[in-house]
Every structure is written in C-alpha cells, then in structure tokens.
Amino acid sequence: MRQGTPAGPLLATYDYDHKGRRVRKSTMAAAPQGATTTLYLYDHADHLLVEADGAGNPGITYVWREDTPIALIRHGVSGNPIIPTCGNRIFPAHRSEGVRDGKGISGV
C-alpha cells in the first residue's frame, strides 16, 4: 500500500504479511520524521511484540498477559522507559501514545 497526496510527494510505504499485519513502515525524506524504517514483529497469537528500526534494534517492546497488553517498554529513552497499560488503554499520563485497533498500543 502506498500513501501520499495526488499532487505531493510519496511520504510512506507500508508492507503487510499474509495475515494482514503491518510488518514494515518506510517513511521518505519528505515525511516530517525524515527517512526511517520501522519493523513490526508479532507472536504466534498475532500480538504485536516489538517495533524495531530498520537494523532490527528494538524501539518499543510490548508486554502481554494472555490477550491483554500490560506494559510497553521504550528502549533507549531516559527516565522511566516502562509505561503500564490497563487493557488496551494507556494510563492517562501516557495517552499520547495511542491505541491501535484493540490489538496493541502503538505510536504508529
């Protein structure tokens, strides 16, 4: 899938696997965050486990208890990298992170 404006530059491409899960997001230099690649890794139950950079270095790890996300860990940040969640919601102080389709929490 490609996303952009008809008259503007291509900003990002998204790759999906055979289950319809996003496995890669590539942004172009014209995008606000510049050129980046994010890889998405899932477990056997289709839970999002890791968002990694293009080299495979983890940026965010998601912690699950059965089908409920209970925390996310931000790698390479100062302060408190562990953000607790309550079901599919992040505690109010961290709402800017977002909720993605009830499948996990992501700032994507």
Percent of the chain surpassing pLDDT 70 = 70
The residue segments making up the domain with residue 8 are 2-96
Q: What token pair was written down for 87? A: 């079901």
| Residue 101 covered by a domain | no
| Residue 12 covered by a domain | yes
Amino acid in position 73: I
Segment 28-79, tens digit of pLDDT: 999 999 999 999 999 999 999 999 999 999 999 999 999 998 888 989 877 6
Q: Where are the beta strands (DSSP E) in the chain?
A: 2-4, 10-16, 22-27, 36-42, 48-53, 58-65, 68-74, 82-86, 89-90, 99-100, 104-105
Determine if residue 28 is left, alpha or beta; phi over 0 gives left, psi from -120 to 50 gives alpha, anything else beta: beta
| Residue 84 covered by a domain | yes
- φ, ψ for residue 97 (rounded to 5)? -70, -35
pTM: 0.70
CA torsion sign for 76, 77, 78, 80 is: negative
Q: For residue 80, give Cα distances in angstroms to 27, 49, 84.
A: 28, 19, 10
| Residue 38 covered by a domain | yes
The domain total for the chain is 1
pLDDT at 87: 57
| Residue 63 covered by a domain | yes
Segment 14-30, tens digit of pLDDT: 999 999 999 999 999 99
Residue 93: pLDDT over 70 = no
Distance, in Å, from the CA atom of 105 to the CA atom of 107, rounded to the nearest integer, reads 7
| Residue 80 covered by a domain | yes
